Amino acid sequence: MGKSMGNFITIREILQRHDPEALRLYYAMSHYRSPLEFDETNVAQAEQVLNKLRSSYSVFRKTLDGGMKSDDSPADSQVEKLVAEASKEFSEAMDDDFNTPRALAALIGFARDIEPYGSKGLGRRSVARVVKAFDYFGGVFGILQSAETRRDDIVDGLITELVELRNEARKRSDWKTADEIRKKLADLGVVLEDSSTSTRWYVSASRNTSS
């Protein structure tokens, strides 16, 4: 890219269209020794990956923040094994000439493998270990931070209240109201994920979630 060729783009322009964390992830997907040209399609793929990571992380982050039992769980040992394996793979990747694609693969695999345990009633210690692992991995890449730090308790409570109102509307089969609430939240960058038992939410990496 070059200004004289008319095919350059400024950081300010990029940030108007993409989450800063998605851009960090995008560049981490390639080794620092490899040439890399800016590509909107690949950035969009990075946004999708970031959304999945945020979704997995939020399961454990909200469980820990919401208060929980301190008892041990039968699944605790397996969770600790997953944390240890991911940490080892991540560290080995970073020691391998700062191999960020391999380290990122370790993070993505960890998020995929650990997410099912979010509904298994883990003890507080295990949940805290998972959150600590996500915080460490995310801290290295500079991700999984803005979605949490830019929300204070008041905003968190308001969004939760809107989600509950939407769920009540769904119970009444008031689909119009439920859809309107979902769209309003999507316009604000909040993604809802419904399961058979609950609805969880997180801040999307995409600047346009309602399309």
HEC letters along 65-83: HCCCCCCCCCCHHHHHHHH
Q: Does domain 3-150 have CATH number 1.10.730.10?
A: yes
> What percent of the chain is predicted at pLDDT more than 90?
54
Q: What is the pTM of this model?
A: 0.70
Q: Which of 29-38, 113-122, 152-161 has the lowest mean pLDDT?
A: 152-161
Is residue 1 predicted with pLDDT exceeding 50? no
Average pLDDT over residues 99-116: 96
Is residue 147 predicted with pLDDT exceeding 60? no
How far, in Å, CA of 188 to CA of 203, rounded? 9
Q: Provide the mean pLDDT of the chain.
A: 86
Neighbours of 23 (CB within 10 A): 22
pLDDT for 3: 45
Is residue 211 predicted with pLDDT exceeding 60? no
Average pLDDT over residues 42-60: 93
pLDDT for 65: 79
Residue ranges matching CATH 1.10.730.10 in the chain:
3-150
> What percent of the chain is predicted at pLDDT more than 70?
88
Q: Is 40 helix (H, G, I), strand (E, B) or coil?
A: helix
pLDDT for 99: 96
Question: Which tokens hold the place of 62?
Answer: 């909200």
